[in-house]
Amino acid sequence: MRFDVLTLFPEMFEGVLAASILGRAATHPADSAPDSAPRLSYHLTNIRDFTVDKHQKVDQRPFGGGPGMVLQCQPVWDAVQSVEPLDARPATRIVMTPQGRRLDQSMVEELAQLPRLLIIAGRYEGIDERVVERLAPIREISIGDYVLTGGELAAMVLIDAVTRLIPGVLGDDESAGADSFASEIGGVLDHPHYTRPRVWEGMAVPEVLISGDHAAIEAWRRQQAMARTRDRRPDLLS
């Protein structure tokens, strides 16, 4: 999987993409061949590098008036045209916007099957609608019903959620199959987890978990997951 990110703030991504599981996935492939290329790469492009404005401006006030600034078509279009030919794999275009379809785990699973995602992270009040239209087909994606100052954090959320589903990215200890919302467990919340010590501050771990009875443990976990889902997220069951 190749990720291309088009943003006005590439520095916001650098720490996140270098750290932890994402950084390991991009630099230390778990493939058997020692010299194999990473299964994953991230490429950051600054939209401002494509401005032709003498003051490097990329935004203007909205026609029709109103607050805020609108990202102009030209730098966004030119950035996409410059980045797409950098790799032969076809890019699925995505623009992060609170007006988009809301991201969920099934959309994440679908995106993780693709060879390449090109993600535009907008700032300001939005992006000139004409460039979004001209970039069709393009998927407009939101990460939830709240407003962020820009699409960068939303893009990082999407990249994180997709990356951890790429085969080999998670170690054996981090398997993705049993996650909350994973479609293979029927889209419900995960069960609670416990580790040592057996008693902490007078609170004991549920007895069944130390019984060694794997069928009983499975049944208990399923029951807990369903009870939590009914209690906290009944919408997932309807």
Selecting among 2, 164, 222, 228, the annotated active-site residue is: 164
User: What is the crossing angle of helices 20-27 and 11-18, to 10°?
Assistant: 80
Under the binding rule (CB under 6 A), the answer on residue 146 touching ligand 6GU is yes
**Applying CB under 6 A, which part among 11-19, 63-71, 149-157, 192-200 lies near ligand 6GU?**
149-157
110 carries an active-site annotation: no
Under the binding rule (CB under 6 A), the answer on residue 69 touching ligand 6GU is no
Under the binding rule (CB under 6 A), the answer on residue 142 touching ligand 6GU is yes
- DSSP per residue over the chain, as a string? -EEEEEES-THHHHHHHHSHHHHHHHHS---SSTTPPPS-EEEEEEGGGG--STT---EEPPTT--SS-EE-HHHHHHHHHHHGGGSSSPPEEEEEEEEEEEP-HHHHHHHTTSSEEEEEE--TTEE-HHHHHHT-SEEEEESSSS--SSSHHHHHHHHHHHHTTSTTSS-GGG-STTSTT-GGGTS-PPPP---S-SEETTEEPPGGGGS--HHHHHHHHHHHHHHHHHHH-GGGG-
State the number of binding residues for ligand 6GU (CB under 6 A).
12
Which one of residues 7, 72, 97, 163 is an interface residue with ligand 6GU (CB under 6 A)?
Answer: 97
59 carries an active-site annotation: no
Rg of the chain (C-alpha set): 22
Which one of residues 23, 62, 150, 187 is an interface residue with ligand 6GU (CB under 6 A)?
Answer: 150
Which one of residues 37, 52, 147, 203 is an interface residue with ligand 6GU (CB under 6 A)?
Answer: 147
Which one of residues 5, 8, 12, 96 is an interface residue with ligand 6GU (CB under 6 A)?
Answer: 96
CB 1, CB 140: distance < 8 Å:
no
Nearer to ligand 6GU, 79 or 156 (CB): 156
Nearer to ligand 6GU, 80 or 156 (CB): 156
Selecting among 75, 93, 98, 123, the annotated active-site residue is: 98
Under the binding rule (CB under 6 A), the answer on residue 68 touching ligand 6GU is no
Under the binding rule (CB under 6 A), the answer on residue 148 touching ligand 6GU is yes
164 carries an active-site annotation: yes
Selecting among 179, 190, 222, 228, the annotated active-site residue is: 179
Q: Which residues are catalytic?
A: 98, 125, 164, 179
Q: Which residues bind ligand 6GU (CB under 6 A)?
A: 96-98, 142-144, 146-148, 150-151, 154
